[in-house]
Structure 1
Amino acid sequence: MSEAVLYVVATPIGNLEDMTPRALRILESVALIAAEDTRHSGRLLSHFNIKTPMIAVHDHNERQQQQKIIEKLQQGSDIALISDAGTPLISDPGFILVREVRAAGFSVVPLPGCCALIAALCASGVPSDRFIFEGFPPAKSQQRLNFFTALAGENRTLVFYESPHRIVDSLADIVAAFGAGRPVVIARELTKTFETFINGSAAEVLAQVEADPNQRKGEFVVMVEGAPQQDAGLLDPRSSEVLDILLEELSVKQASALAARITGIKKKVIYQAALDRK
Structure 2
Amino acid sequence: MVERSGTVTRPLAHHLHRVVATCTDVRAGFDYSNLSSGLWRSRRARKELLDKVTKGIDRDLLEVGRGGHGGNGNGVVLVHGAIGDGEFAWDELLPHLADRFTCYLPSTRGRGLSADHPDHSLPRLQEDVIAFVESIGEPVSLMGWSGGGPFVLGAAARSDAVAAVAVWESGASADALGPDGQACLGQLAAAIEQVGVAASDGRLIDAVHAFLAGICNDDEVAALDGTDFHERWSGSVPQLLSFYQQLMASEGPGPDHPEALAQVTVPVLLLTGE
TM-score (norm 2): 0.30
The structure with the greater share of residues assigned to strand is 1
- RCO higher in structure (CA 8 A, sep ≥6): 2
Higher alpha-carbon Rg: 1
